[in-house]
Every structure is written in C-alpha cells, then in structure tokens.
Amino acid sequence: MREDSLVADFLLSIIDRFTEGILVVCVNSFYIGKRYTDVVGGDYMAYCYEGKTYETIKELAEEYGIDRERIYSFRHRGWSLEEAMRICINDVRGRGRLFEYNGKLYRSPKALAEEYGLPWNSLSHYMQRCKTVEEAVKSCKEAQEKKITLWGKQYQSRYEVAEAFGIRETSITFRSYTRKATLEEIVLELLQKEPIYFEGNTYNTLTELCAKYQVQPCNVFERLKYGKTLEEAVYLPIRNNGKRYEVEYEGKVYQNAAFLCREYHISKSLVKGQQRYKPEYSFIKCFQMIKQLRDECKWPDTEVFAFIPRLKVQGTFYKSLADFAAVIGMTRGQIDAYKSRHHYKNMIEALQAMQRDRIPAYKTEYGLLSYSEARKRRYTYAQMEKLEYIPEALPRYPTLQEFDFTQDSMDVLLRYEELFQKQSRCKREWRDR
C-alpha cells in the first residue's frame, strides 16, 4: 500500500505539471489524475471496482449499501479496495451483503425497498429482526398497510404524524408505550409541553407559536380536533358560521369573544382560564383585568398576550424565574431563598436588595479580594491577618450589577395576583415556573 501511495504521489506531480486536459491512471484500483474544466478545477481521486468508476468512496458505498466508514477503516489498515469491499459485502453481520428475494439479487435494503415502494429504513429495521428476507418484506408491507388514524385523518406512520405537527417521533413513541393514552391525547400534550418545529423555526409551545402568528390557541386546538393539519389550523381565517355570540366592549359590538380578543391581541384561552379561578367574574370582567395587566406591564402591541410573565427586567419579559436566573448565572432556588429569608413580597425589590448586598474583602496587590479568592491566590492565614480588612466591600452577587431594576422593570405575577385578589402561595409560584 505504501508503494502504491508513492506511485500515486509521483503520478499526480507529473499530471499537475504537464497536463491540461484529463489524464487518468489506474494504480491498484485507484484512479488518479488532474481534472480541468472551464469553471472549477482541482485534484481528485476516483475509484474503480468491478469495471465501474466511482469518484468518491461515498458513491461506491451507497451503490452497495455499505457504511463508508468501514471501507475507510479497512483502507487505512492497508487493505486494497477489492479486499475491503469483499469483506464488507460478505460481512456476517449482514450490513450491505448480497441477498436474494423472489429470485433476484439485491446489494442493499435500499435497492429492494425502492423496487417495491417500501421505506428503506423500515425494511432495514425488519431485516435485522426477521430470520428471512421474505419475512422482513412481508412485515414491512403489513406495517405500511396499517395506517394510523389521528382526528379522522390517516397517516402512514408515527414519523409522518411527527412531521405534520412539528414534534419529535421519539416523544410520540415513548408515550405510546409508557402511557395508556390515545394518540390524540399524546399529540395535544406534546404540542403544549415540547418544542414545535414550524416553517423553519422552533417554538417552545403551541401557545408561543400562536402568539407569533397572532391566532388564538383555542381556535388552533379546535381545528386540530377536526382533522386539520397544523399549517391549516394556524393559517385558516375565522369564519362566521351563522351563530351569533355577540359581546360588547367599550361601545363596540363584536361577533364573539374570539373577535374581541383578536382585536386587542389577547389570548382567549388566557381570559377563559381566569374564569375557572373566579367563576363569579364574567368574561368581560376577566378580559378587562387581563387588558389592564397587559397595559401596565407594557406588553408589545404586535404580540399576543398569551401567558402571564413572571417578571419584566429592563423591558425584557421572562416567562419564569428560572429563565431570568439562567441569564445571570444563578439558580431559581438562590433567588427564591433570598426573597423568602428577607420577607420580600415583590420580586423586583428582592433583586434590588440582592444587588445592594455586600461581602467583606481584603486589600491585596491584586486589588480587593474576598476570603475565598485570597485563599485561591495562596495567601496564608498569617499573610491575610496583615492585610487591610474592608467590610462590605464587594457585591455578593456580581452578575446583578449590570441591571437597573428601576428602569422598565415589574413583578408581573405579583400585580396579576393583586388584580384577581389571589393569595401569593408558594405552590402557585413554583407551578408557574
């Protein structure tokens, strides 16, 4: 193999110096040469196997249904291309080996699947688990015939369902085996709890997706239950079906509550959710208070107010305390513990107090250092006793110093609880996070 490589390098140097067209030389199943075109030029190495030329190992591997990394592995160990291909094709594990079906030889499951119109990944799956090729093909065909029905619409597989709704197939499969739930219940749960991939973008939940496209989540859910795809559920306009559930707000009459909420960019499901906590409140009363909260926290007019944010810091809304804690490099528990220990009701006030909190430091040649930092600098106890000790010199939480909590900041959850006369309960706060 080393001699072949030396010969190849020598020939390439000659080709590079003296050729202007295409010159190809075969050395132990290698085709080497220099290709020049009008647009792109460069060195390349082609491969010859069983009388056919391949420009790359990848092309050769795909032709025979072999993992190209295995070919590279054998080649790096000094095996010739013929030897490497023979070993891979006749591999006892069955990857890429020649097999027969209906009196015809096939070099890969992909070739067989393409001829019979089957998904090659599914066929490969069954070939690894079935004793014969005939049994694998039969099982694959039966699986294709068993279509999955979701909200009255048929799908070929869970993968097709996952693609249609922008969720992960693995999540569907896991819940199908671990829970006694219908496919409809599983899909609805995943749409609310897991990221959704839609039109090239990823959204944390369906509510976030609906806020982006300014549609009501309740409308999307209802459309999904009627067999609409996710794309149809998002884009279909609201039509008047003849039923009149008119509502009046500030002297203007709307066809129904959905039209009212859409005009003010407020989620109808958010308003309806408040009625479950306050049954004595009408829909309009809950809407008024949600709108008041939206106006007070200065939610962007271009976005749907679909959830109650935990807090607002310098114009940025944070859905949970954990989200803000991650930004400052802390944990939710650290902030909650400080707030509870010092009996703060308002989260913004607690953060301001944390910002003012100071720890003692020692004046060293490196500047002011805390006790732990001084020890890391290998200062001994005797040396530290000689240093100037300054109480309340350094901020205890340095990452909070860059924030100005007096500018466009608000404890939104606290104001929400005040509007709806809810008691601030620890369980409630933890659930919202």
Q: How far apart are CA 191 and CA 220, in angstroms?
A: 11
In a domain, 127, yes or no: yes
For helices 169-178 and 158-165, give the axis angle rounded to 10 degrees: 120
In a domain, 202, yes or no: yes
Residue type, 271: V
Looking at the structure, tell me whether residues 155 and 140 fall in a common domain.
Answer: no
Q: Are 346 and 310 in contact (CB under 8 A)?
A: no
In a domain, 303, yes or no: no
Q: How far apart are CA 132 and CA 136, in angstroms?
A: 6
Residue 321's Cβ-count burial label (10 Å; 0-12, 13-18, 19+) is buried
Weakest mean pLDDT among 146-150, 267-271, 338-342: 146-150
Backbone angles phi, psi at 160, to 5 degrees: -65, -35
Q: Tell me, what DSSP letter sits at residue 400? A: G
Weakest mean pLDDT among 8-22, 43-57, 279-293: 8-22
In a domain, 133, yes or no: yes
Q: How far apart are CA 87 and CA 71, in angstroms?
A: 9
- The count of other CB atoms within 10 Å of the CB of residue 57 is 18
In a domain, 50, yes or no: yes
In a domain, 83, yes or no: yes
Residue that wins the pLDDT comparison between 276 and 313: 313
pLDDT at 60 over 50: yes
**DSSP codes of every residue in 408-429:** S-B-HHHHHHHHTT----HHHH
Weakest mean pLDDT among 27-31, 162-166, 355-359, 418-422: 27-31
Residue that wins the pLDDT comparison between 163 and 12: 163
Q: Are 165 and 221 in contact (CB under 8 A)?
A: no
Q: Mean pLDDT throughout 165-171?
A: 80
In a domain, 304, yes or no: no
pLDDT at 98 over 60: yes
pLDDT at 29 over 60: no
**Domain containing residue 289:** 247-296
Q: How confident is the model at residue 318 (pLDDT cuts 50, 70, 90)?
A: very high
Long-range pairs of 205-210 with CB within 8 A, sequence gap ≥ 24: 207/267, 207/269, 207/306, 207/307, 208/306, 209/234, 210/234, 210/267, 210/304, 210/306
Q: Mean pLDDT throughout 267-294?
A: 86
Q: Are 224 and 320 in contact (CB under 8 A)?
A: no
Residue 244's Cβ-count burial label (10 Å; 0-12, 13-18, 19+) is exposed
Choose from 21-25, 79-83, 176-180 the range with maximum mean pLDDT.
79-83
Looking at the structure, tell me whether residues 268 and 357 fall in a common domain.
Answer: no
Residue type, 405: F
Q: What is the pLDDT of residue 147?
A: 65
Looking at the structure, tell me whether residues 154 and 139 fall in a common domain.
Answer: no
pLDDT at 407 over 80: yes
Looking at the structure, tell me whether residues 140 and 222 fall in a common domain.
Answer: no
Residue 167's Cβ-count burial label (10 Å; 0-12, 13-18, 19+) is buried
Q: Are 120 and 110 in contact (CB under 8 A)?
A: yes
Looking at the structure, tell me whether residues 132 and 172 fall in a common domain.
Answer: no
Looking at the structure, tell me whether residues 336 and 413 fall in a common domain.
Answer: yes
Residue that wins the pLDDT comparison between 36 and 319: 319
* Rg (the chain; Cα; Å): 34
Q: Are 2 and 28 in contact (CB under 8 A)?
A: no
For helices 283-296 and 412-419, give the axis angle rounded to 10 degrees: 150
pLDDT at 122 over 80: no
Q: Tell me the pLDDT tens digit for each residue of 71-93.
A: 888 788 777 888 888 777 765 34
Chain centre distance of CA 429 = 26
Looking at the structure, tell me whether residues 338 and 366 fall in a common domain.
Answer: yes
Looking at the structure, tell me whether residues 84 and 114 fall in a common domain.
Answer: no
Q: What is the pLDDT of residue 353?
A: 92
Q: How many CA atoms lie within 13 A of 283 on its CB side?
A: 16
Q: What is the pLDDT of residue 410?
A: 92
The sheet that has 388-395: what strands, in order across it? 367-369, 358-364, 388-395
**DSSP codes of every residue in 136-195:** HHHHHHHHHHS-EEETTEEESSHHHHHHHHT--HHHHHHHHHHS---HHHHHHHHHHHS-
Q: Mean pLDDT throughout 110-117?
A: 79
- The count of other CB atoms within 10 Å of the CB of residue 181 is 13
Q: Tell me the pLDDT tens digit for each residue of 354-399.
A: 989 888 888 888 888 887 888 887 888 888 888 888 887 788 888 8
Q: What is the pLDDT of residue 92?
A: 35
Domain-terminating residue out of 54, 89, 124: 89
Continuous segment of H or E residues that includes residue 202: strand 201-203
Looking at the structure, tell me whether residues 315 and 388 fall in a common domain.
Answer: yes
Q: Could you give the number of structural domains in the chain?
A: 5
Buried b (16+ CB within 10 A) or exposed e, 223-235: bbeeebebeebbe
In a domain, 94, yes or no: no
pLDDT, averaged across the chain: 76
Q: How far apart are CA 249 and CA 267, in angstroms?
A: 16
Residue that wins the pLDDT comparison between 83 and 244: 83
Looking at the structure, tell me whether residues 286 and 261 fall in a common domain.
Answer: yes
pTM (2 decimals)? 0.46
The token pair at 236 is 């279909």
Q: What is the pLDDT of residue 384?
A: 81
Looking at the structure, tell me whether residues 422 and 337 fall in a common domain.
Answer: yes
pLDDT at 21 over 50: no
Q: How confident is the model at residue 238 (pLDDT cuts 50, 70, 90)?
A: low
Looking at the structure, tell me whether residues 164 and 183 fall in a common domain.
Answer: yes
Share of the chain above pLDDT 70, in %: 80
pLDDT at 37 over 60: no
Q: How far apart are CA 349 and CA 414, in angstroms?
A: 12
